[in-house]
């Protein structure tokens, strides 16, 4: 059975994907203005999300491109930069999750193209989904920064589509909540040095 990507890998995927040191969060304070949508289009899923954090564009970009810290996220067992050439970075990830009784083991190599300090585009080079691609955009907004995430991916799995869709919709929101919370907490330590 082919594995299904976790909500994190999608996002990141979910997760993942350039997100630094998530913390578990049950709710999102209103000032994060979190919006998440997951749509199914044929065999593919489309994910759109945005949230606001109290950090500068540079701080936010620094945190977003801290790829290896994603290994601290529950479910991600490995997140390693395996190559860096000019503005292209390849990251190898291993994800282990579970959907009901179905174990999820996902291996992937994703290439990011960095455009400092406001854009990341990415696509899967190899891995356990048919394809995975998308963007992260950073938009300054009145002393804060808005992160906008968009991705599209297709899976090849024996897990029923409605089960996968339920898992993705419910998991991905909690991952973005955690990301918003942690970015807000970590902005001084992770973003300050690179942006002075």
| Mean of per-residue pLDDT scores for the chain | 79
Residues 43-69: what's their mean pLDDT?
91
**HEC-encoded secondary structure of the chain:** CCCCCCHHHHHEEEECCCCCCCCCCCCCCHHHCCEEEEEEECCEEEEEEEEEECCCHHHHHHHHCCHHHHHHCCCEEEEEEEEEECCEEEEEEEEEEEECCEEEEEEEEEEEEEECCCEEEEEEEEECCCEEEEEEEEEEECCEEEEEEEEEEECCCCCCHHHHHHHHHHHHHHHHHHHHHHHHHHHHHHHCHHHC
On whether the CB atoms of residues 70 and 18 are closer than 8 A, the answer is yes
Residues 23-47: what's their mean pLDDT?
73
| pTM of this structure | 0.79
pLDDT for 159 = 64
Q: Which domains does the chain have, with CATH numbers?
A: 35-190 (3.30.530.20)
pLDDT for 125 = 97
Whether omega before 117 lies within 30 degrees of 0, making that bond cis, reads yes
pLDDT for 17 = 36
pLDDT digits (tens, 9 = 90+) for 101-111: 777 788 999 99
Please state which of the ranges 25-29, 33-37, 136-140, 152-156 shows the lowest mean pLDDT.
25-29
């Amino acid at each position: 059975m082919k594995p299904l990507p976790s909500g994190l890998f999608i996002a990141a995927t979910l997760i993942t994907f350039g997100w630094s040191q998530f913390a578990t969060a049950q709710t999102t304070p209103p000032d994060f203005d979190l919006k998440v949508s997951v749509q199914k289009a044929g065999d593919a899923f489309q994910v759109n999300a945005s949230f606001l954090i109290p950090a500068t564009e540079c701080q936010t970009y620094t945190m977003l491109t801290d790829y290896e810290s994603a290994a601290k996220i529950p479910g991600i067992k490995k997140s390693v930069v395996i190559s860096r050439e000019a503005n292209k970075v390849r990251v190898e990830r291993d994800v282990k999750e579970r959907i009901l009784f179905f174990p999820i083991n996902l291996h992937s190599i994703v290439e990011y193209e960095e455009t400092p300090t406001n854009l990341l585009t990415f696509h899967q080079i190899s891995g356990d989904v048919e394809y995975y691609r998308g963007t992260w955009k950073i938009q300054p907004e009145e002393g804060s920064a808005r992160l906008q995430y968009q991705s599209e991916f297709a899976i090849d799995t024996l897990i029923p589509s409605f089960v996968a869709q339920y898992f993705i919709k419910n998991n991905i929101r909690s991952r973005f909540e955690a990301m918003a919370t942690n970015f807000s907490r970590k902005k001084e330590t992770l973003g300050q040095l690179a942006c002075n």
